[in-house]
Chain A
Amino acid sequence: MSDVSTLSPTAEAVATQVESLTYAKAINAALARALEQWPEALLYGEDLAKPGGVFGVTRGLQERFGAARVFDTPISETAMLGAAVGAAMTGARPIVEIMWMDFTLVATDQIVNQAANVRYVSAGRLSAPLVIRTQQGALPGSCAQHSQNLEAWFAHVPGLRVGLPATPQDAHDMLLSAVACDDPVMVIEHRGLYHGEAADVALEGPIAPVGGARVRRPGSDVTLLSWGAMANRVQEAASVLAAEGIEAEVIDARWVAPMDWQTVLDSVRRTRRLLVIHEANLTGGVGAEVAAVVQERLFGELAAPVRRLATPDLRMPAAPHLQDAAIPDVTGIVAAARELVKR
């Protein structure tokens, strides 16, 4: 896959403007730029335009770009995503917000049977350059139908691209990469990050192609691979490990499809140990694919088997203390990494 590239810090230095933005405001800025840059871009979803979205991410965009291009839809995910496929096939560049990842399941047909097939089955005569923006994950009190992490479902589907930004900068950049891409792309955000701490976000930089992991912390003892909000937790765990004298290399995969195998394999070749951490449940998660690929490619070079740390195979309970017991936390990540390094 030619468009996979590891991001270098110099790529961002080209940007001319830096603003302190939250994750939500960084997404808003990216959407504004997309609507400005591509006259064929559309933005729609449930409660997205006039109300500005249930998380306030899309505030002000309808006022700025008009109700023809930025509009509210009925609660009809199949119509929303089907319309995105048809609009994209005929020259538009739709960006559709699906309010919760769990809701993609009522319209999976349009994502998997329709969008993912357009280019391949037409032998390249048609394409479906659409973006599905959604958010996922458990937060205290969220029920089992509003907390699933389903990136592996869609990463499994040839024809789709799937990314999970963890920082305001990536929320901005990855969304623009998705809009610029001529294939269907899912950008899975995390609502726990929307209104977190603001960070400097470089705006107006060049738009990178979809793909590319980010090494967030260099280290030599063990590689910790994760994505989405979990990447932030893993970075925290790496600081704890450093205090114990364990130097973990932290990789934020950013995109799980396409996975930046080069960066992952280069890192594990040096550290000889890999711990994959994700909030999605264990069985059939992206971690399983990572373990398989790394063991196929680096079996003789590994000091220990690849280890996965994930939510156990459960339905997600709503009670916060039960959720805490299920989802990998800093203590659990530190313990798993420590054990791996001892081997």
Chain B
Amino acid sequence: MNQAASPPLAATPAGDLEALAAMYRIRMLEEKITELRKQQIIQGSVHLCIGQEAIYTGSCQALRAGDQVFSTYRGHGWAHALGVPLAGILAELMGRSTGVCQGRGGSAYFSAPDWGFYGENSIVGAGAPIACGAALRNKLSRNGAVALTAFGDGAMNQGAIHEAMNFAAYQDLPVLFICENNTYAELTPYRETVRQPDLYRRAEAYGIPGVRIDGNDLAAVRDCVADFAAQARAGKGPALIEMTTHRLVGHYYGDMQSYRPKGELTAARAAEPIGRWRRQLLERGVAEAELQRVEQEARDAVEAAATEALDAPFTPVDTLQEHLYV
């Protein structure tokens, strides 16, 4: 039996300050990963989600324990927003035995089902049909859970996404299709490889709702996901939510980003979600000292997690043959 059958722990706790704290932790986690990657303590492909934190945090605040998330290889933020501990993520990237998959998944393909994180996927678009299966199970077992699958703007041109959306639509499956439109399909602007750039409009072809929202607006993300999740739980089927955002770093660690026009990053940084949410909280009367405390706590949490992961032993080589078959 899957261990995941036990009820997953809660996602990011509700609350506006909690949202800020989670976004800070995700940002600082990614910065710590960059540092460790530079030092070769982490090796191989690393895809960072800096700039897209509101999507994960807002979505996961709208989810319930028992819901399932299927993300892309840019998935550290999704995992932590669901509650996966920072140390478990960092240890995973460092090949330690305390990693959530004992180092077998690495940066781009780990899962942590105890938190409802059914995993990253390093095949573009492949998580969407899998999420449909979880939603099928939810529907048949009437457990009230919703499956959420996230993918990028580039994945919208994968056949798997098309098949998944039609499959979910004809079966009225409780699944949310989240398109994180960060404007780049890997290294190519997605607009250069489509004729119709309003990706959310494809939903109409499947007979399901499709909307585009500002993915850097924490509250908008949270409200939108809560709304469609409630509809999915009520048996009304899937929805496509296109969330616009910007990736403030390369597609992968080491990406020189020569494809970016001048000034693009400056504009994108001005619209990034953490500073924006922080300013909103300040305007609503949250004390500056309180915001600084949240930021410092996030920094401390990431530092402590890094120390914990670095202190953990490497996964023993004699486990190599384990778990291939039951």
A-to-B contact residues, CB < 8 Å: 1, 3, 40, 42, 68-69, 73-74, 76, 78-92, 94, 109-110, 113-114, 117, 119-127, 158-159, 161, 181-183
Chain B CB within 10 Å — which of A73, A79, A92, A125 has the most? Answer: A79
Q: Is the CB of A82 within 8 A of B123?
A: no
Per-position 1/0 for B166-186, Cβ under 8 A of A:
110010000000000000000
Q: Which residues of B contact A76 (CB under 8 A)?
A: 163, 166-167
Is B167's CB under 8 angstroms from A123's CB?
A: no
- Residues on the B chain within 8 Å of A89, using CB: 2, 4, 113, 118, 130, 133-134
When the two chains form their complex, are residues A79 and B129 in contact, meaning their CB atoms are under 8 A apart? yes
Is B132's beta carbon under 8 Å from chain A? yes
A1 x B166 contact (CB < 8 A): no
Give A159 to B324 CA distance when docked, in angstroms. Answer: 6
Q: Which of A80, A82, A92, A181 has the largest count of B CB atoms less than 10 A from its CB?
A: A82
Instruction: List the A side residues contacting B68 at CB < 8 Å.
Output: 90
Task: Flag whether B101 is at the interface (Cβ < 8 A).
Answer: yes
Stretch in contact with the other chain, from B22-30, B136-144, B231-239:
B136-144
Q: Which residues of B contact A85 (CB under 8 A)?
A: 129-130, 133
Given contacts A78-B159, A86-B147, contact A127 B130 (CB under 8 A): no
Q: List the B side residues contacting A78 at CB < 8 Å.
A: 129, 159-160, 163-164
Known: A79-B166, A125-B114. A90 touches B4 (CB 8 A): yes
Contact between chains at A87 and B136 (CB < 8 Å): yes
Q: How far is the CA of A144 from the CA of B70 in the complex (A)?
A: 37
- Docked-complex contact A90 and B119, CB < 8 angstroms: no
* Chain B residues, Cβ within 8 Å of A123: 101-102, 104, 319, 322-323
Cβ A83 vs Cβ B325 within 8 A: no
> With A and B bound together, what is the CA distance between A343 and B17 in angstroms?
83
Give chain B interface residues in 65-108, CB to chain A under 8 Å.
68, 70, 101-102, 104-105
CA gap between A79 and B324 in the complex, in Å: 25
Contacts A91-B2, A124-B322: A86 and B166 contacting too (C-beta < 8 A)?
no
B190 at the interface (CB under 8 A from A): no
Q: Judging by beta carbons under 8 Å apart, are A73 and B324 in contact?
A: no
Which one, B3, B132, B166, contacts A82 given CB within 8 A? B132
Q: Chain A residues near B326: list those with CB within 8 A.
A: 119, 127, 181-183
In B147-172, the 8 Å CB interface with A consists of 147, 159-160, 163-164, 166-167, 170
Query: A88 contacts which of B128, B133, B147 (Cβ < 8 Å)?
Result: B133
* B111 and chain A: residue at smallest CB distance: A122
B218 to chain A, nearest CB (A): 28
**Given A74-B170, A87-B136, are A120 and B129 neighbors across the interface (CB < 8 Å)?**
no
Asked if B200 CB lies within 8 Å of chain A CBs, one says: no
Q: What is the distance, in angstroms, from A83's C-beta to the closest C-beta of chain B? A: 4
Q: Which of B113, B123, B132, B135 sits near A122, CB closer than 8 Å?
A: B113
